[in-house]
């Protein structure tokens, strides 16, 4: 089983993608941005390998204006060596990657130009995976599209327009149920008719379920039939509803107790789970650690070092409980550790806790800082105390100093990122 995350890697330096506005999309600028983005992707893949993450969704923004006529460079030739280099890392680490075109990729549209654009978008995403020189277990994920006041005709149009796709696109394509229009039963019917693998999305199914009320495991097992050997392991999407937000919004982090219940319900190892969650890789590492048998204590100690200042600024009580928990090596479990982390993250903190955490971070920097930097730090802190600036200003200054003095301990913490 692989557990993965989508597109962005939080708290890891040099992993941010860059783009530009249309009027600045010159050939030189697109090449420059593509080079940057491939370097960022390479760093993400390295991070995933280091953290035993073997499932990852590559951002559609990898190649700026990738499916647009604005981008007329043959990036797959210019950057073929870089792509193959990254692809080799993916293959050697047994990682599985995917791409997921956005909501405007509508293959069953009743407008010819929209359909053509969807085909171009799918060709672009397929070209990313083909350029990595990886097999057909690495997929392009697509929703069915709109209903256009007649779902039956819209399904027929999807089936007809599917014929427009090149064979290499068809071999990579997988389809997924959505939270508004096409439920898992309808997507399964299409998948079986066209021989397309089907992804089950648990949150979408809760929101938009078939009239035939069945347990999640039933639909997951039905979808399994659509996955052939060359498609790799069956893949599903897992997310949790964000509290107090509109229906369908993904949670800030995966609640580990809910996830473990879902994981144990599956009772299978031949399935890959893509997490869709705001904190991306952080929840991914959590879920991997909590499902790893005989996890080494130092893995949790490393996690504590990443979270400690974030928890300190939100809940001093939880911070103390974490220290106490880590002392008992015999009884320590990943689930109890992450339950405490989650409790801490649910707190918003206050000005006193923010100042306390900032001061603790400053203690790591003060021996390197110049006199002027010391004055500046306490000036920012005083301005925050007097409500003349936000805590983010203080944290940004601390991050600037951490970068300047190469304090990897601080830069590898999550204090500056969540």
Phi, psi dihedrals of residue 241, rounded to the nearest 5°: -70, 130
**Can you say how many angstroms the Cα of residue 119 is from the centroid of all Cα atoms in its chain?**
25
The DSSP secondary structure of 59-84, one letter per residue, reads: PGGGSTTTTSTT--S-HHHHTHHHHH
DSSP H or E segment with residue 85:
helix 80-92
Sign of the dihedral defined by the CA atoms of residues 103, 104, 105, 110, in that order:
positive
Are 196 and 175 in contact, with CB atoms under 8 Å apart?
Answer: yes
- Locus of tokens 């890392």: 89
Q: What is the pLDDT of residues 336-395, one digit of tens each?
A: 999 999 999 999 999 999 999 999 999 999 999 999 999 999 999 999 999 999 999 999
Residues contacting residue 208 through CB under 8 Å, at least 6 positions apart: 177, 178, 179, 180, 181, 182, 183
Residues contacting residue 245 through CB under 8 Å, at least 6 positions apart: none
Q: Which residues pair with 142 in a beta bridge?
A: 175
Residues contacting residue 228 through CB under 8 Å, at least 6 positions apart: 197
Angle at 291 between CA 228 and CA 207, to 5 degrees: 65
What is the topology classification, in CATH, of domain 2-290?
A: TIM Barrel (3.20.20)
Could you give the CA distance from residue 86 to residue 68 in angstroms, rounded to a whole number?
24
Q: Which of 149, 146, 164 is nearest to 106 (CA)?
A: 146
Are 155 and 146 in contact, with CB atoms under 8 Å apart?
Answer: no
DSSP conformation class of 137: T
Q: What is the pLDDT along the chain (418 residues), one digit of tens a residue?
A: 999 999 999 999 999 999 999 999 999 999 999 999 999 999 999 999 999 999 999 999 999 999 998 999 999 999 999 999 999 999 999 999 999 999 999 999 999 999 999 999 999 999 999 999 999 999 999 999 999 999 999 999 999 999 999 999 999 999 999 999 999 999 999 999 999 999 999 999 999 999 988 999 999 999 999 999 999 999 999 999 999 899 999 999 999 999 999 999 999 999 999 999 999 999 999 999 999 988 888 999 999 999 999 999 999 999 999 999 999 887 789 999 999 999 999 999 999 999 999 999 999 999 999 999 999 999 999 999 999 999 999 999 999 999 999 999 999 999 999 8
Could you give the CA distance from residue 107 to residue 190 in angstroms, rounded to a whole number?
13
Tokens representing residue 11 in the block? 């708290």
CB count within 10 Å of CB 191 equals: 23
Angle between helices 151-162 and 184-194 (to 10 degrees): 30
Angle at 12 between CA 7 and CA 18, to 5 degrees: 55
Tokens representing residue 348 in the block? 């918003």
Q: What is the pLDDT of residues 265-305, one digit of tens each?
A: 999 999 999 999 999 999 999 999 999 988 888 999 999 99
Give Rg (Cα) of the chain: 23
Terminus-to-terminus CA distance in the chain, angstroms?
28
Measuring CA to CA, how many Å separate 277 from each of 66, 200, 287, 408? 25, 16, 12, 26
């Amino acid at each position: 089983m692989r557990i993965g995350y989508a597109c962005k890697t939080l708290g890891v330096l040099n992993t941010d993608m860059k783009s530009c506005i249309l009027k600045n999309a010159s050939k030189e600028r697109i090449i420059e941005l593509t080079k940057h983005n491939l370097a960022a992707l390479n760093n993400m893949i390295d991070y995933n390998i280091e953290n035993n993450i073997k499932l990852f969704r590559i951002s559609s923004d990898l190649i700026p204006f990738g499916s647009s006529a604005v981008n007329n460079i043959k990036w797959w030739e210019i950057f073929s060596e870089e792509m193959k280099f990254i692809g080799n890392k993916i293959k050697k680490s047994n990682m599985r990657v995917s791409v997921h075109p956005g909501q405007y990729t509508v293959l069953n549209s009743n407008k010819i130009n929209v359909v053509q654009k969807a085909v171009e978008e799918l060709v672009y995403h397929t070209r990313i995976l083909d350029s990595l020189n990886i097999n057909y277990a690495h997929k392009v994920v697509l929703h069915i599209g709109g209903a256009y006041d007649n779902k039956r005709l819209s399904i027929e149009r999807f089936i007809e327009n599917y014929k427009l796709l090149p064979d290499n696109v068809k071999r990579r394509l997988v389809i997924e149920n959505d939270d508004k229009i096409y439920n898992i039963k309808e997507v399964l019917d299409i998948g079986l008719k066209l021989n397309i693998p089907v992804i089950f999305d648990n949150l979408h199914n809760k929101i938009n379920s078939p009239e035939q009320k069945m347990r999640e495991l039933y639909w997951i097992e039905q979808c399994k039939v659509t996955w052939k050997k060359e498609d790799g392991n069956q893949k599903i999407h897992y997310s949790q509803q964000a509290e107090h937000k509109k229906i369908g919004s993904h949670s800030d982090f995966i609640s580990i107790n809910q996830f473990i219940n879902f994981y144990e319900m599956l009772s299978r190892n031949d399935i890959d789970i893509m997490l869709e969650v705001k904190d991306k890789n952080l929840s991914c590492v959590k879920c991997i650690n909590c499902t790893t048998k005989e996890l080494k204590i130092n893995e949790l100690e490393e996690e504590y070092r990443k979270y400690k200042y974030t928890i300190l600024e939100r809940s001093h009580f939880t911070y103390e409980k974490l220290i106490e928990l880590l002392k008992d090596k015999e009884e320590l479990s990943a689930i109890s550790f992450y339950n405490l982390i989650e409790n801490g993250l649910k707190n918003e903190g206050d000005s006193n806790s923010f100042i306390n955490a900032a001061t603790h971070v400053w203690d790591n920097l003060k021996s390197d800082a110049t006199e002027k930097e010391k004055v500046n730090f306490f000036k920012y802190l005083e301005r925050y105390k007097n409500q003349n600036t936000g805590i983010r200003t203080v944290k940004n200054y601390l991050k600037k100093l951490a970068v300047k003095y190469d304090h990897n301990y601080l830069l590898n913490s999550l204090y500056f990122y969540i």
